[in-house]
Structure 1
């Protein structure tokens, strides 16, 4: 099958590159690369019509298509397959003027998250999604994985921040649902099919994103607690006192806290030796009362014995220093490497028992195992990094069996934020029933009967 020639005939010459011209950066995402896949072509469209032409041509010739955004995923979802056409949306970066009346903005899906954040900020509004790869990840990738991040507790995941979208189906059909209206119950809400589908049902080209009022006050604290039971008590108090102002509730277990401070040569904001650490943040619009209201909460939980120690940021510099501890996972390649990482969800009340059970099973298999635990625990999301010191290669498959086995035991999800891709595909059945998976496959068959869109991802 020669897909390159038909693509060159159907599209402008600068849109399609042959296999010998493909830069190696397109051969995978942050976690999984395959330079032996030998893609047949790289297509970099400039318009939705270009995308439709590419998919229509590939559909006619039965050529597989792997769509790519910023290639910042952690599950292998953007990894090429042999003979595929790599479809990069990196040229489709247009951001339309913000619609202040509807508090929304229309963007092309190759725009980076950071660029959208800046456009909203310039208009006096907030695009609430925020993740560490903001400068590289794209809106299309955020939609395809239903991205979460640090502000899910207050604003929800990407699904809640998406008002409308445009997508191209496998046969080149364009589905346009770009109205900024929040209320539209005229039949099926088709955009929901593409959110979190990892490019297996269609290629998202444009999106209408929901914006929010920009907070004028921010209060940040780091608190030390005895154990996870105290974390749950603090969460209940924070929800009760702060209400919708509660913006972040990040939990760090002792090994993570030590690694993110002393391990990086940084002075810990609170002395080590506690059972858990919480980064608590509130965002509001009442400059006269928000600070005192936040301080009253911290004082109350301290007096009740829920919290053993606390530091409230008194400046933006101190706030950044506190967040630097939580964001220190980005330094793992320097301080805790090699490791195998996991992104899972659990019922919030079960997280403490889940960690104890998982740690115990890992330690019973490898006595010198090292684990670090952290995450957005208020929405049930826990991140894990596991390392076997001295091992030339990490026993990833054996780790997977234990971690995902524990996730299944506690009725959690094997993927909280990063999708399934290739790496989590063998374990999908740990979180989804056979009926659910069969329904997913039915949707896939209906929208992509030739199976050309991102083949081999999510399920076989």
Structure 2
């Protein structure tokens, strides 16, 4: 995409509408707005517009729409699929100044927040008020809630609380033409017509720009229990998951599984990560439970864990005796965030699969990568209780990673196993060529119809997720 012939007029109109701190051009454009964390090449947008009010977001979109200039919404810039990455000839609409907690309604157990507010800020404010925000990501300090909702983020506790969309009761969205649709509902039960918020959650800024949201709050956990288990085979992993769901019920908050290749990379290659369990095991499982009463729920967790030992599902385990122990357990799982440093440039994948098929997939995927990409190392781990598997693949020491070959092999294997190419990170730019591996022609056509209805001039994040021209041609 090249610059629109009216781009100069558009920027002039934006400068006339907003102050110099809101519209940044040329050398004033910060580096943070030139790239997200998807490893795509850096690109300078035509301008960066940083409104600090919802109406300001709507006004910026109205101006861009009137001039036919494309807009790329940006939040914390922590996305991994290129959804917020700049595109040539477009203006970046950054929500970095649209921050703040507007209200905590204790009776309704809701929080109304602006879209640019970092997730960690929201977590802390909820905690101080005696509530709990279950959404949690490694990028919590940088990612913004608007981007979390735009990608329908998952995280570590989906097995209990669901994806990001399960947190949302109300939403405010600026549409492509500058209309500000405010629907800040606080009620759990509200069947008055279409549930419009669901159109925008997970749409990655291609249908509208989220400006505010009403989040559902949960009771603050009174206690957290954790165990890191060594398990001898994948059949036992699946049985352990079933047993945790049955034995712990609503207490179960996380069920993370790490294959041996990942375990070695995390506990040997990443500095400061200790092994809670020694010896070699076929799988390493982190089980977390959250309760309200430490005595009652702690005993229940201990009793359940002992029963799993008795049935032979667990070969060895370490049980957290303190918050520090639990954090150390999670450190093994969060070590993936340091692979870029210790392993070097790599290809990262976020896929979804039927739980029972995950180990078969891992074996098939690893075999293909080793056979077709000489020297390829791949490691496997993820939120198995949610059907979400992560993969890191690379040729160590290679000057340039054979990304296209690795992507093709992984996504072809995902398609063969009936999985999804994106479980929680979105489609953006990087996964768009493979969206048809997980969606039927009829689904893609309906997505294009919705996109055309809400953004008829295709100015919102064009080329991301769904391509109107390609769908029209098909």
Give TM class, smaller chain.
over 0.9
CA contact (8 A) 1:27 1:33 kept: no
CA contact (8 A) 2:103 2:113 kept: no
- Further displaced range: 67-76 or 385-394: 385-394
| Alpha-carbon distance change, 391 to 4 in structure 1, aligned in 2, over 3 angstroms | same
Q: TM-score, normalised by structure 1?
A: 0.98
Residue 295 (str. 1) matches residue 287 (str. 2): no
- The secondary structure found in structure 1 opposite 2:103 is coil
Deviation at 1:348, TM superposition (A): 1.0
Structure 1 residues 435-460: Cα deviation after superposition (integer angstroms, max 9, x where no partner): 10110000010000010001110132
Report if aligned partners of 1:34, 1:79 keep a CA contact under 8 Å in 2.
Answer: no
Aligned residues: 459
- Is the CA contact (8 Å cut-off) linking 1:52 and 1:173 kept in structure 2? yes
Deviation string, structure 1 residues 150-178 (Cα, Å, up to 9, x no partner): 01010001110001100010000111110
Mapping 1:194-233, distance limit 5 Å: 194-233=200-239
Measured in 2, the distance between the counterparts of 1:131 and 1:24 equals 23
**Could you tell me which of 383, 393, 399 is aligned with 2:390?**
383
* Deviation readout 1:194-224 (Å, 9 max, x if unpaired): 0000000000000000110011011000000
Alignment partner of 1:185 out of 180, 191, 196: 191
SS at match of 2:263: helix
Find the residue that maps to 2:102 and give its secondary structure.
coil
CA–CA distance in 1 between the matches of 2:17 and 2:245?
56
2:409 to 397, 402, 414: 402
Determine the C-alpha separation between the residues in 2 that align with 1:39 and 1:335: 32
CA distance in 1, matches of 2:20, 2:396: 51
Of 90, 96, 106, the residue aligned with 2:96 is 90
TM-score normalised to structure 2 length: 0.95
Q: Is contact 2:152-2:201 (8 Å) kept?
A: yes
Of 17-26 and 259-268, the range deviating more from structure 2: 259-268
In the TM superposition, residue 398 of structure 1 has moved relative to its aligned partner by: 0.5
Q: Does structure 2 retain, via aligned residues, the 8 Å contact 1:225–1:276? A: yes
Question: Quick check: 2:270–2:339 contact (8 Å CA) kept in 1?
Answer: no
Q: Which aligned pairs between 1:65-104 and structure 2 lie closer than 5 A?
A: 65-104=71-110
The separation in 1 between residues aligned to 2:185 and 2:422, in whole angstroms, is 30
Structure 2 unmatched runs, 5+: 1-5, 468-474
Mind listing any 5+ residue stretches in structure 1 that lack a counterpart? none
Q: Would the aligned equivalents of 1:30 and 1:73 in 2 still touch at CA under 8 Å?
A: yes
The farther-off stretch of 61-70 and 25-34 is 25-34
- Structure 1 equivalent of residue 278 of structure 2: 271
Could you tell me how far 1:361 is from its partner in structure 2? 1.2
Partner deviation per Cα, 1:82-109 (whole Å, 9 max, x = no partner): 2211111111111023111111100000
Q: Which residues of 2 match residues 328-343 of structure 1 at below 5 A?
A: 328-343=335-350
More off after superposition, 185-194 vs 93-102:
93-102
Cα separation, 2, equivalents of 1:140 and 1:196: 10
Q: SS in structure 1 opposite 2:450?
A: helix
- Note the C-alpha offset of 1:229: 0.7
SS, match of residue 75 in structure 1: coil
Q: Deviations over 1:339-379 (max 9, x none)?
A: 21100000111111111111111122235321111100000
1:257 to 250, 263, 270: 263
